């Protein structure tokens, strides 16, 4: 069982920035992909961004493209989500997820993300 722990959420004014982190302490951790999803009140969970863990490649949802950047540090077994120019509509609980099942060449949003973190709240408000 892989445990993922998110951090970095909080309250930020519109136009502000936040960086989310997601780490695992699993010593033999490996995955095909890791990503960020979010769920706003009354809405379905949506894909935000993902990165291939052992290969090059990432994808960001159109709704956040140009504002959010996903990155990884494999030595720290951590992924990050740098969020800039935040808008009130970015308010949501952000979840980190890992996909440990293939096929390896699946499109990043289409992986079966089978491990999830507990979520971290991001609130964009003045």
What mean pLDDT do residues 76-104 have?
Answer: 95
Higher-confidence position of 11 and 27:
11
pLDDT confidence tier of residue 17, bands split at 50, 70 and 90: very high
- Terminal-residue alpha carbon distance, the chain: 39
105 pLDDT more than 90: no
Q: What percent of the chain has pLDDT over 70?
A: 100
Provide the pLDDT for residue 119: 97
Residue 88's pLDDT is 97
Average pLDDT over residues 47-66: 96
Contact partners, residue 38, CB within 8 Å, separation at least 6: 45, 46, 48, 90, 92, 93, 94, 95, 122
Element (H, E) at 84: none
> For residue 49, what pLDDT band results from cuts at 50, 70 and 90?
very high
Looking at residues 56-76, what average pLDDT do you find?
Answer: 96
pLDDT score, position 27: 85
């Amino acid at each position: 069982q892989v445990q993922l722990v998110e951090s970095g959420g909080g309250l930020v004014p519109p136009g502000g920035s936040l960086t989310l982190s997601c780490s695992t302490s699993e010593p033999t951790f490996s995955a095909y992909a890791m990503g960020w999803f979010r769920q706003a009140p009354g809405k379905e969970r949506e894909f935000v961004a993902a990165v291939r863990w052992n290969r090059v490649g990432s994808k960001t949802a159109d709704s956040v493209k140009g504002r959010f950047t996903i990155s990884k540090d494999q030595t720290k077994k951590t992924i990050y989500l740098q969020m800039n120019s935040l808008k009130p509509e970015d308010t949501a609980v952000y979840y980190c997820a890992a996909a440990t099942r293939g096929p390896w060449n699946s499109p990043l949003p289409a992986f079966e993300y089978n491990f999830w973190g507990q979520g971290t709240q991001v609130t964009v408000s003045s």
